[in-house]
A and B are shown apart, each in its own frame.
Chain A
Amino acid sequence: MSVAPGVGVVHSGRWLGGVALGKPAVFVLLLLPLAWLVYAVAFNQLGANPAQALVRATGDWTLRMLCLVLALTPLRLQFDLPQLARLRRMVGVFVYFYAVLHLLSYAWFDMGFVWVDVVKDIPKRPFILVGFTAWVALSLLALTSFDRAVKWLGGKNWRRLHRSVYAVAALALLHFFWMRAAKNDLYEVAVYALVVAVLLGWRAVRALRARTRA
């Protein structure tokens, strides 16, 4: 490290508004989209078709959280921000939180909570099947996000399991792409795909470099 260890920590701490404050502040920040949606439902701000708006918004926020969690490690290592490591699991749980809201919105507002219909619907539509698969994988990661789970699995296994978030990102993109593909309206899909590609590409390049160095 080029910067003296102590200096780096103090500087980065200030950047997040203090090391102690950083995590709760981010927690509140990541709840803001939900707060907005609750407000929008209560005050009728979601337009003519609020049900569809909710399903879409929760899906959008799941993707954004996913991009954010994938960005943490590149940001931490590229810009020497070690405290970002402390946020990783929490942001990861937020990805799952919005994914659950997305699934619930679909099951509730689209399917009226008729679970028989939901179960019949999932395998019938490939894009929903893909989204559901991503959700199941995310559930596994969320269930093993606690300290005790890390201990129980062992650091190495835990990291290996949680690398499946890369596959989740790919599935989520495919789900979004499929939804938009028929309308040929792929601009937004392309933006998310680019972000995910950069973040995963950064990891691939780094792993490749590490291997050639070894």
Chain B
Amino acid sequence: MLIKTTSSAYDHGVPSEITPTEVYHARRDLLRWMASGAAGATLASWGAREAFAQSVKLPGKNVPLAAVKSPVAGAMSLEKLTDYKDATGYNNFYEFGTDKSDPARNAGTLKTSPWSVEIEGLVKKPGRYALEDLLKLSAMEERIYRLRCVEGWSMVIPWLGYSLSALIKRVEPLGAAKYVEFVTLADPKTMPGVTSRVLDWPYVEGLRLDEAMHPLTLLSFGMYGELLPKQSGAPLRLVVPWKYGFKSGKSIVKIRFTDKQPLTAWNKAAPREYGFYSNVNPGVDHPRWSQASERRIGEDGLFARKRKTLLFNGYEAQVGQLYAGMDLKTYF
């Protein structure tokens, strides 16, 4: 029996557990070597691959992006991930065409470097922020979110990024700032869709400041362990998991802090069909279809019943208090 006394002070490891000095130094050397040079870059990405092995198998389509699992409440859904192929091959990005296969087909022309985001409006520190600086602004987290499209389908996607609140705190909004507007790229040279009259370009989205500050509101730079593919909104986009997908603007170029509710693109195009809030809500139907249920892409077979849509896309515990006392039928 092992009896500990105060005189033992601390437990010594058995000699076999102690790393020999030469092995310890060899590890340091390896890390130093990894941190420098092209070979280091290859190995570093290999390291990221290992770190991710648990939740996502890297699709190998883009540069890996290292991240830690998010500690934010509700940020790690345990549901089955949507296939990378479906998540990046079936989506809406009207700047590249209105068919859901258009973005994957046409987004190759998007130029994501150099890239910067203009911060303007009611903030203490407006200015142009380079993508490189935004990538380093806060620790990269992996978050697995449900995504519910207003069209009645859904996915489960592992994003990489950090809470938008980190950026907002950095630029210090003034007291008068009540809303945040997101303006996305509209470049007719590289985006064939912006010559169409489907929407007024550029695509504008917006959130109330408290929504934008919610820890679940993600400024995303990657998905499936890698940088965002162009069709999914590279190099940076928003992900607001409790709202319909179109609220999460892609390829953001400007973030503006205002005191007035922004006039968002879909709200402008069809005010009866798309409200400013657009929170996922099975009780408020779209005028042309029901929102009570959804089809999980790649999972619910053709002949399976659709699954029930949850209020705030299942994030009610985290975000419900943002809308306390509001009539969600009026503010849809």
| Chain A residues in the interface with B (C-beta under 8 A) | 41, 47-52, 54, 108-110, 112, 117, 121, 124-125, 127-128, 178-179, 182-185
Contacts and interface: CB of A to CB of B under 8 A. Distances in A.
Contacts of A52: 151, 153, 295
Given A112-B293, A124-B285, 12 more contacts: A47-B90, A48-B100, A49-B100, A50-B302, A52-B295, A109-B302, A112-B306, A117-B290, A178-B288, A182-B288, A183-B198, A185-B196
A182 B286 CA distance: 11
B86 A48 contact: yes
B93 to A, nearest CB: 14
A57 to B, nearest CB: 13
Given A125-B287, A125-B288, A125-B289, A182 B270 contact: yes
A49 B198 contact: no
B166 interface: no
B297 A49 contact: yes
Contacts of A54: 302
A51 B302 contact: yes
Contacts of A50: 302
Nearest to B155: A48
A51 B295 contact: yes
A54 B285 CA distance: 23
B101 A47 contact: yes
A182 B290 contact: no
**B-side interface mostly:** loop
B112 interface: no
A109 B196 CA distance: 31
Interface string B80-116: 0000001001100000001011000000000000000
Nearest to B91: A48
Contacts of A108: 303
Interface in B157-197: 196-197
Contact of A184 (B197, B287, B293): B197
B102 to A, nearest CB: 12
14 contacts: A48-B86, A48-B89, A48-B90, A49-B90, A51-B295, A51-B302, A52-B295, A54-B302, A112-B293, A117-B290, A124-B285, A125-B288, A182-B288, A184-B199
A53 to B, nearest CB: 10
Given A49-B153, A124-B285, A125-B287, A182 B269 contact: yes
Given A41-B302, A47-B90, A125-B289, A185 B98 contact: yes
A125 B285 CA distance: 10
A126 B170 CA distance: 48
Nearest to A124: B285
Contacts of B197: 184
In this complex, which of B269, B285, B302, B306 has the most chain A Cβ atoms within 10 angstroms of its Cβ? Answer: B302
Contact of A182 (B86, B273, B297): B273
The 7 closest A-B pairs by CB, nearest first: A48-B90, A48-B86, A182-B270, A112-B305, A184-B198, A50-B302, A48-B297
B21 to A, nearest CB: 56
B127 interface: no
A23 to B, nearest CB: 34
A185 B198 contact: yes
B283 interface: no
A183 B94 CA distance: 10
Nearest to B151: A52
B298 interface: yes
B298 A48 contact: yes
Interface in B278-309: 285, 287-290, 293, 295, 297-298, 302-303, 305-306
B125 to A, nearest CB: 38
Contacts of B297: 48-49
Contact of A49 (B270, B287, B295): B295
A110 B293 CA distance: 9
A183 B100 contact: no
Contacts of B287: 125
Contacts of B303: 108
A132 to B, nearest CB: 14
Nearest to B301: A50
A47 B91 CA distance: 12
A143 to B, nearest CB: 29
